[in-house]
Amino acid sequence: MTEPIGLPALEQALDALTARVLSLREARSSYPADPRSTLDAALAELDTARDLLDAALRELRRTPRRSGERENGSQRELKLLRQVFKTFPVPVAVLDGSGVVRRISAETSQMLGSPAGYLIGRSFPLFVDVSRRAAFRSHLTAVQQSGQTATFQTRLAHQGRAHTVQLALVRLTMPGEPHAMTAVVILPLETQVSEAPPGPADRSDAALILASARRQELLSRMTRLLLDEESLRQPVTVTRASRLLAAETADWVIADVVREGNPRRACVFGPSDRPVTDLVRLVEGLNPLRAPLIAHVLTGGSGVVHEMVEDENLLGGAGDGPPLLRVMGGASVLCVPIGGEDGPAGSLTLVRLRDREPFSLADLGVMQEIGVHLGLAVRARRSFQNRSQAADALRTSVVPRSLPDIPGFEAAAIYHAGSSPVGAEFYDVFPVADGWGFALGGAAGKGEEAASVSAMVRNGLRVLSVWESDPGQALRKLNQALAVQHSGMFVMALAGFVKGRRIRLASAGHHPAALLRPDGTVRFTAGGGVPLGISPDGETFDEELTLTAGQMLVFYSDGLVASRNDEGEAYGEMRLADVLARCVSQSPATVVKTVEEDRHAFSGGRVWDEVVVLALRVA
């Protein structure tokens, strides 16, 4: 079929070709064990399809350009030819001189798994197997220059589909076009589908929403991982983040960090289902700056995505061997910076293989956000390490190193740290005008902020005691100072001023003190009041006691009475009263030790919140 033919004859030939291709497909499905005869026939039909395209081209050339009514007829013929191309039963793509897809048939869109609007404008060689890509370009150039048809066997891959195909390349000289184009007729010989449904990829609103939800879930999981205590305590932040990305969204993950101004490779993760141990070690030893893509991101500070890899040298070479991306089998790659204070603190490079959907701009956006979060987490960990000494100093600021001697009293205390490295409970004994003062309490919460508020209350009581003779008034002034800060922190506190044997107590939401008499009876003081910092008008509960010889006041934190045993029962104040009743005539040091030993036995040695016990006995 070398001469132009009329459109009716072309339509009949196309219908006949469509029927024969359908029969071949049915034969291949019915007799999979005997593919050779089907393949030979399919190759013959490929030649027929090529001749039909050539005949259609000749028909286009023969169509005159006229005006008026004759022009309308020509337009109808052109529309008919376009429809013939769209419904062609064999996959066909039309490429420009640089190999970019300009037209594509419905069969090609079906085979590659993407709509025509996505495929048009893409470089067709990017769909060709990396190992045959250079050869394909050579065949394409030869066809464009010589005009002779060429056939070429290779593999096409996209959207999780991999096809072994026979390609026929035909030069097209289009009327009105200054440059020739090339028609690529594709005959699938073998198809492998990796978790991909037949037909074009689902790009409906529901599918796009689902993809967006997956990206947000990845971002949420990464945020939870970065906020985990282990990430702050140990230098594993970048490694843990990279491992998550390798498991969820990429086949290869390469992480680089900048230390002392020089990029260094932090970790490399490859496909877990492939034997890539040696390649992982090779990549770990490469200089990050030898990879042009990584060097560009570290220098420019913005992320880059290559949906379909065209330049295999983006990540440099595998030592003295071929390009690293070729060895990896990478088809899509993106690289984003790890956020730093004065420029990138490193980079994350993700690679997907040819059997997965390529990265998109949406993936780049999510990864850029992850890069920012990872940079914040790295800086937080460094800050955490740098502030460890300050945290130790803060811890010592809530408890005294030793108790002073109080004339007429014996005093002893025990402090047991909880699960937090920085405690929020405090106690203190200090001199006041004409006597002594003591305090006990703790901020609600844990960590440095709670400890700093507790330290402020402890030191504030010391300062206010210089002017205030009433512990209740001192606590109320502290309450006003805390309330105006609007920090959301509140403190349960108890303070007492001792003059002779008279003790003035003031409570701001704290547990009552236990009064142990010489006869073994135990009475609890009133306690109560409003914790400091909740309201500027919060009231304290004040009480005055006059102790006699042998009486003992025992103060304790919430961590003592809230301790629980294996059955979930709380230690409670009733058990504390029973223990104290057995400590009649014992020294304060013995009493606080006995209480802690009983709590330890009750809770099986577990400590959640700090345990403070302070005992004062009239000598």
Q: Residue 128's domain is classified under what CATH number?
A: 3.30.450.20
Q: Which of 330, 358, 386 is the last residue of a domain?
A: 386
Domain closes at, from 193, 216, 233:
193
What span, in angstroms and rounded, lies between the C-alpha atoms of 317 and 433?
A: 79
pTM above the 0.85 mark? no
Does residue 131 form part of some domain? yes
| Measured distance between the N- and C-terminal CA atoms of the chain, rounded to whole angstroms | 122
State phi, psi for 189 to the nearest 5 degrees: -100, -35
Joined together, the tokens standing for residue 457 give 């209350």
Nearest-5° angle of CA 308, CA 312, CA 318?
Answer: 135
pLDDT band at 196 (very low <50, low <70, confident <90, very high): very low
On the question of pLDDT at 75 being above 70, the answer is no
28 confidence band (pLDDT: 50, 70, 90): low
Find the largest Cα–Cα distance for the chain: 126
Tokens representing residue 160 in the block: 């999780």
Average pLDDT of span 164-175? 83
The whole-angstrom separation of Cα 383 and Cα 23 is 71
User: Is residue 309 located within the same domain as residue 177?
Assistant: no
Instruction: Report the range of poorest mean pLDDT among 238-242, 411-415, 442-446, 577-581.
Output: 442-446
496, 574: one domain: yes
Shared domain for 398 and 327, answered yes or no, is no
Residues in a beta bridge with 618: 409
* % of the chain with per-residue pLDDT over 70: 77
pLDDT band for position 201 (cuts 50, 70, 90): very low
> Which is higher by pLDDT, 405 or 382?
405
**32 vs 529: which has the higher pLDDT:** 529
Judge whether 426 and 441 are in contact, CB under 8 Å.
yes
Task: Please check whether residue 214 lies inside any domain of the structure.
Answer: yes
| Residue 539 near residue 470, CB atoms below 8 Å | no
The verdict on residue 1 lying in a domain is no
Is 60 part of a structural domain of the chain? yes
- 382 and 406 in a single domain? The answer is no
Query: What order of strands is seen across the sheet that includes strand 502-508?
Result: 425-432, 435-443, 491-499, 502-508, 541-546
Residues 396 and 379 in one domain: no
**Mean pLDDT value across residues 594-598:** 95
Q: Is 158 found in the same domain as 17?
A: yes
Cα–Cα distance measured from residue 30 to residue 138, given in angstroms and rounded to the nearest whole number? 38
> Which run of H or of E encompasses 73?
helix 68-86
Query: Over 60: is that where the pLDDT of 342 sits?
Result: yes
Would you say residue 199 lies in a domain?
Answer: no
Please give the average per-residue pLDDT across 124-132, as a whole number.
80
Neighbours of 546 (CB within 10 A): 10
What's the order of all strands across the beta sheet hosting 150-158? Answer: 101-104, 92-95, 181-193, 161-172, 150-158
pLDDT tens column, 407-423:
889 999 998 877 665 66
432 with 552, same domain: the answer is yes
Q: What is the DSSP string of 97-137?
A: TTSBEEEE-HHHHHHHTS-HHHHTTSBGGGGB-HHHHHHHH
Lowest average pLDDT, out of 20-24, 306-310, 572-576, 580-584, goes to: 20-24
Q: Where does a domain end: 166, 193, 220?
A: 193
Share of the chain above pLDDT 90, in %: 35
What are phi and psi for residue 169, nearest 5 degrees? Answer: -110, 125
Which residue type occupies 564? R
Question: Is residue 200 a part of any domain in this protein?
Answer: no
Of 543, 525, 529, the C-alpha closest to 490 is 529
* Separation between Cα atoms, residue 214 and residue 248, nearest integer Å: 10
Least confident of 260-274, 326-340, 374-388: 374-388
Identity of residue 452: S
What pLDDT is attached to residue 411?
A: 93
Range of the domain at 175: 7-193
Give the CATH number for residue 246: 3.30.450.40
SS3 content of the chain, % helix, strand, coil (to 5): 40, 25, 30
Does residue 416 share a domain with residue 300?
A: no
Q: What's the pLDDT at 162?
A: 72
Residue 583 within a domain:
yes
Specify whether 376 is located in the same domain as 407.
no
Q: Where are the alpha helices (DSSP H) in 292-360?
A: 292-300, 324-328
CATH number of the structural domain spanning residue 472: 3.60.40.10
Question: 285 with 249, same domain?
Answer: yes
Tell me whether residue 426 is in a domain: yes
> What single-letter amino acid sits at 99?
G
- Total domains in the fold of the chain: 3
Task: Based on the fold, state whether residues 419 and 549 are members of the same structural domain.
Answer: yes
Same domain, 553 and 480: yes
